[in-house]
Amino acid sequence: MLAPEVQAALAAIVGQDRVLTAAEDRQLYASDETPRACAPEAVVFPQSHEEVAAIVRLANRHRLPLTPRAAGSGNVGGALPTPGSVVVSFECMDRVLEFNPDDRLIVVEPGMVTETVDRLALTAGLMYAPDPGSGAYCRIGGNLAMNAAGPRCVKYGATREHVLGLRAVLGDGREIRTGARTTKYATGYDLTRLLVGSEGTLALITEATLRLIPAPERVANLRVCYASNAAACAAVARVMRQPVLPSALEFMDRRSIEAIRAHGGAEGLPAGTQAVLMVAADGAYDDVPRQVEALARALEGEGLLEIQSGFTPEEMARLWTARKSLSHAVKSIAPLKINEDVVVPVSRLGALVEAIDRLGEAHRVPLVAFGHAGNGNLHVNLMVHADDVDEMARARACRQALIDTVLRLGGTLSGEHGIGSEKRAFLAQALDADTLALMRELKRLFDPLGILNPGKKLPD
C-alpha cells in the first residue's frame, strides 16, 4: 500500500483524478504482453515534463520505484511493474509540440501513438519510417525506450536513426536535453543514442524531436515461395548483396507455413511451399518497377517455386494474406508463446534457421520462426503449455541452446524487443564483464538511487 502522504503528494502534482489506486485500476496496469503480472501500488498520469520531474523528485524522497509505461505492448516485461512500484503512464502526454516540414522534423510527447506520427507526416509528403507491427497502438516513448523497428527498417533503419534529440528527466529529477534540431550533430557526447534503447532505466523521456524523410511515391510488393528454408535464406543473402535495397524483406519458415496451412490461410500458395519471403520496393513512381525487376532477379535461384508481384493496394493486400494470418495460426499450436527476438549477421541466417529446426526436434518443442530477414532478425516462438512441467523444462533448455547458437553465430539477444525483465539473465553471456560494468556505472550516474524501472535491462 502506498503511504497516504505519498498518495496525497502525487495527487498534489497531477491532480486527484490522475492518480489511480483502486485494485481493479491497478490490475489494468499489472502487465505488458509478457505472461506475468504484478499490480503496481498506484498509476499516475502526468501531463507535462514538469509533472514528470516532480514525480521523480518525490520518488527520490521516498525511494519509490517507478515503472514507466507507454502502451504496454512490449513483450519482454519492460513495462511490467516491480513489486511496490508506481506506474508512470505517458498516455496523457500525447501532443504534437511542433510539426516543421521545412526542417523535416516533428516534436512530440512520448505518449503519441506511433502511426499517428506517420499519418501526420504524410500530410506534408513526409514519412516517419519506423513501422513496428504494433504501430496502431504502441507509443513513441515505448518505441524510443526499446529502439523499436519494423519491416521498413531494413532500408531506413530502426527508431534510433530517426531521432534528432530528446528531453528527459534523470533518476534524480534533473532535466537533460540531448541532440539538436539538425541532421548533423558533432557536439558533446551522443546521449540521444544512449537513451534510445535504455528501456526507461536511465531517464524518463518527456519530448522527442523525430526525423522525417520524404515519403515514397509508390510501394510494390513481391511474395516469393520456396521449396525449403535453405532456398529462402540463400535468396535473402543474394538480395542483400545487390544494390537495390528492399523496403521490406520478411521471412516465414517451414513451421510458419505449416501453421498457416492448418489454419486455412495458405490459399494461393503453390504446392510444396516450405518458406516464403515477403519483399517490398518503394521510391519514385517510375523507379519502383525497375527495383521490382532487380529484386526479382536476385530472388531467383535454386528452390524458387513462384514469384508474384503486386502494385495496387488490392494486389498487395492479397499477397500479404498468408503473412497476416500467421499470428492467429501460431496461437492454435499452443496457448503460450515464448518469443525470442534474435539477430545474426545476414550471411548466417541459413545456419540459424537450420539450427532452429534441429533444436525444436531435439527438445521436442514446436519452434516457429519468422521476421525481418533482411536485418538477420528472427522472432523464434517456442509454443508451449504453461501447465506442462516437463514441456516447460524442455522449453527452458531449448531457449538456452538457441541463445548459445545465436551468440556462436556472431549474433545478439534482441533486435527490437529489448531485454526487459525476461532476457536480462542472458546479458552477462552476451556482453563482456568490463562492458557490463561500465553500463552499471552509467546506470548509477543517471539514476543514483536506482528508482527508474528497477529489475530491467541489466542483470542484478
Ligand X SMILES: Cc1cc2nc3c(=O)[nH]c(=O)nc-3n(C[C@H](O)[C@H](O)[C@H](O)COP(=O)(O)OP(=O)(O)OC[C@H]3O[C@@H](n4cnc5c(N)ncnc54)[C@H](O)[C@@H]3O)c2cc1C
Rounded CA separation 280/453 (Å): 38
79 binds ligand X (CB under 6 A): yes
- Per-residue 3-state assignment (H helix, E strand, C coil) for 77-98: CCCCCCCCCEEEECCCCCCEEE
Is 73 or 273 the residue whose CB approaches ligand X more closely? Answer: 73
133 binds ligand X (CB under 6 A): yes
We find the least distance from the C-beta atom of residue 132 to ligand X, in angstroms, to be 3
- The span of 5-13, 134-142, 317-325, 421-429 binding ligand X (CB under 6 A) equals 134-142
- The span of 141-149, 343-351, 384-392, 426-434 binding ligand X (CB under 6 A) equals 141-149
Rounded CA separation 214/103 (Å): 12
- Name which position in 139, 162, 255, 399 contacts ligand X (CB under 6 A): 139
Grid cell in block for residue 159: 527508431
Q: Is 372 within 8 Å of 277 (Cβ atoms)?
A: no
Binding-site string for ligand X from residue 399 to residue 428, where x marks contact by CB under 6 A and - marks none? -----------------xx-----------
266 binds ligand X (CB under 6 A): no
132 binds ligand X (CB under 6 A): yes
Rounded CA separation 346/352 (Å): 10
Q: Is 173 within 8 Å of 200 (Cβ atoms)?
A: no
> Residue 220 pairs with which residues in a beta bridge?
281
- Name which position in 33, 41, 51, 391 contacts ligand X (CB under 6 A): 33
- Name which position in 10, 117, 145, 269 contacts ligand X (CB under 6 A): 145
Whose CA is closest to 51, among 109, 117, 104?
109
162 binds ligand X (CB under 6 A): no
340 binds ligand X (CB under 6 A): no
- The span of 19-27, 69-77, 209-217, 313-321 binding ligand X (CB under 6 A) equals 69-77
The strand pair at 42-44 and 86-89 is best described as parallel
Grouping H, G, I as helix, E, B as strand and the rest as coil, residue 99 is: strand
The residues in 192-211 that bind ligand X, with binding defined as CB under 6 A, are 199-200, 204-205
Q: Is 81 within 8 Å of 421 (Cβ atoms)?
A: no
DSSP structure string for 267-308: TTPPTT--EEEEEEEEESGGGHHHHHHHHHHHH-STTEEEEE
We find the least distance from the C-beta atom of residue 378 to ligand X, in angstroms, to be 12
- Name which position in 29, 90, 156, 426 contacts ligand X (CB under 6 A): 90
> Which element (helix H / strand E) includes 428?
helix 427-430
The residues in 91-120 that bind ligand X, with binding defined as CB under 6 A, are 110
We find the least distance from the C-beta atom of residue 203 to ligand X, in angstroms, to be 7
Grouping H, G, I as helix, E, B as strand and the rest as coil, residue 111 is: coil
166 binds ligand X (CB under 6 A): no
- Name which position in 9, 44, 58, 148 contacts ligand X (CB under 6 A): 148
Is 95 or 290 the residue whose CB approaches ligand X more closely? Answer: 95
- Name which position in 40, 46, 65, 74 contacts ligand X (CB under 6 A): 74
Rounded CA separation 33/43 (Å): 18
Q: Is 449 within 8 Å of 60 (Cβ atoms)?
A: yes
- The span of 1-9, 127-135, 178-186, 311-319 binding ligand X (CB under 6 A) equals 127-135
We find the least distance from the C-beta atom of residue 90 to ligand X, in angstroms, to be 5
Rounded CA separation 127/120 (Å): 8
150 binds ligand X (CB under 6 A): yes
- Name which position in 42, 117, 149, 409 contacts ligand X (CB under 6 A): 149
Within 10 Å of residue 264's Cβ, how many Cβ atoms? Answer: 9
Q: Is 107 within 8 Å of 87 (Cβ atoms)?
A: no
Q: How far apart are the first and last CA of the chain?
A: 25
Whose CA is closest to 330, among 322, 320, 318, 341?
322
Is 162 or 417 the residue whose CB approaches ligand X more closely? Answer: 417
Grid cell in block for residue 84: 511496490
- Name which position in 13, 107, 146, 409 contacts ligand X (CB under 6 A): 146
- Name which position in 6, 14, 29, 32 contacts ligand X (CB under 6 A): 32
The residue ranges that bind ligand X (CB under 6 A) are 32-33, 68-75, 78-79, 90, 110, 132-134, 138-139, 141-143, 145-146, 148-150, 199-200, 204-205, 416-417, 453, 456
